[in-house]
Chains A and B, each alone.
Chain A
Amino acid sequence: MSDLVTGCTGDWEVVIGLEVHAQVSSNAKLFSGASASFGSAPNENVSLVDAAMPGMLPVINRECVYQAIRTGLGLKAQINLTSVFDRKNYFYADLPQGYQISQFKHPIVGEGSLRIVMADGSTRDIGIERLHLEQDAGKSMHDQHPTKSYIDLNRTGVALMEIVSRPDMRSAAEAAAYVRKLRSILRYLGTCDGNMEEGSLRADVNVSVRRPGGPLGTRTETKNLNSLRFIQAAIDYEVARQIEIIEDGGTIDQETRLFDTATGATRTMRSKEDAHDYRYFPDPDLLPMIVTQVEVDALASALPELPDDIRDRLMGKYGLSAYDASVITEERDTARYYEAASDGRDRKLVANWMTVELFGALNKSGNTFENCPISPENLGELVGLISDGTISGRIAKDVFADMFETGKGAAAIVDEKGLKQVSDSGAIETLIDQVLAANQEKVDDYRGGKDKLFGFFVGQVMKESGGQANPGMVNQILRSKLDGA
């Protein structure tokens, strides 16, 4: 395996498990009617329940439960028809109840799996241990006042799904691929918006190292990473740090660590000895949560096609490469775009234009896919014009640039600018004769054995035609004129 890390004393295998916290897409919070929207003024979305006023009681938001079940189904996981909400007790200023309502012993979703695709197209299945629902905490702000902390309870009680993987990943790249894939599935399902910058998706990373095939090493947990880059950087840092400690004769402390985004280093947050005793017990304000198989089946039948299924179809039926298929299906919108653009066209050519030209242009212009100026029908039309020989690939790039700029259709631009490919053999012959006559010396050189000059003549002819001559015909006629004479 190429994923081994070489230290001073030999190779090390990295073992990674992830706990991802994904904010459930829902209008209201998990146990209160308050809005779960992002970006409101501090303490605007706080109900009496969220503020833990005396005598207030939680009532489950069934939609959040359904979102968790949809996610479980998307992860091909066991759905538990009976699950239990527990209280996780600890004191903090932004935790008004003094406990978080979570699921400890009986989560709503059990074991599942998730397939990751690496850059080389290889795949690996990563085990999912469980998914449970829990409340988010509020936000403490320590920089607003010299001696006081400010508390914003808007996030308090917002529904989170904690998705726990098996320790199945062996490199930072695999961990990133896992989060990318998980995010993709959540977005397809519409169960989490996957917005890592706003904190809708964040990961705790468990990392340990061991000799290949050896017993598991002691792990550390680095909390609250909210970008793929940070996840990879934190893992890389932890791996290097742990290997160095062990190779210097030290031991790894089981502890919780924080990642410093400025320095890229991790540091101790709390040691195992300081670990909280959360005193979990079933929340007596809530009855065990029962869902019926009928409800689960109804949710299952309404699920959208998921990226793995579409990817398999793209590779199997359309013959796309593993890489192209993965890139196109990462987002539901891009997959839909591709399906529309390639309908009735050369599927592979459309994939190529999408992944190279379209994604490149979007990247360069800083545009998001939602604001893509080229409609899928127009991209399909462009590829159609290439396939039927109306325009050459080179001209097509110019047309594409024009389309990206103006949003116009491909055929319209070709017509407007007279870019139609010239496939009239008489017209091409005339052009070739002119070029050969103007370059008699080079013609002689070519015929004297410098056959590399062929490309020069092609270039000259295309240039004279303004790029519109059919390159295949130019090649064919030119060769017969030069070689056949």
Chain B
Amino acid sequence: MDTFYLDLPKGAPEPLLLRTHTSPMQIRTMEKQKPPVRVIVPGKVYRRDNPDATHSFIFHQVEGLAVDTDITFCDFAGTIEYFVKQFFGPSVKTRFRPSYFPFTEPSVEFDVSCPFCGGTGTAASGGTCSKCKGAAWIELFGAGMVDPTVYGFVNYDAKRVSGFAFGIGIDRLAMLKYGIDDIQVFFQNDVRFLCQFP
């Protein structure tokens, strides 16, 4: 993963970059606000990837953060599951896989049963499902319980508060929901595409 930097005049106090994810909004929010915190922050993010059907150097994420005296992993699981069932429908299956991110502990990847093959791994034609490559699951996003170290930077009492954070790729969700196979169509703004989403 590479980052875009701005070309600043000589003597600029610090380099500026185009954010690669929306997670900085966690700290920005907590710096301004005492707990309880519950925020949703959608925004553009940039990664220096060569564009193709699944990569765009710009895409969108929605950051979520909830911090309170009684937020547990169970609340996190419930929140995510609620959203995903609303979004993909009640029959979607979900699972958490332990993972690693620097700002969450425990960290997880969140998977849903492949909406294209109904979580069977087999395409309607009988072959392997091309979307989940036969895995039956599709990785949706990374998330986790906020690492207590983070609270130290914003003067929250890590012994008293806990919380969860997630960053979901919006473009990816839309691609999965509507069966869009090329991320570039979001940015071409062809009226024939726009008309399909009145």
Co-assembled chains A and B: no
- Chain A interface residues toward B at CB < 8 A: none
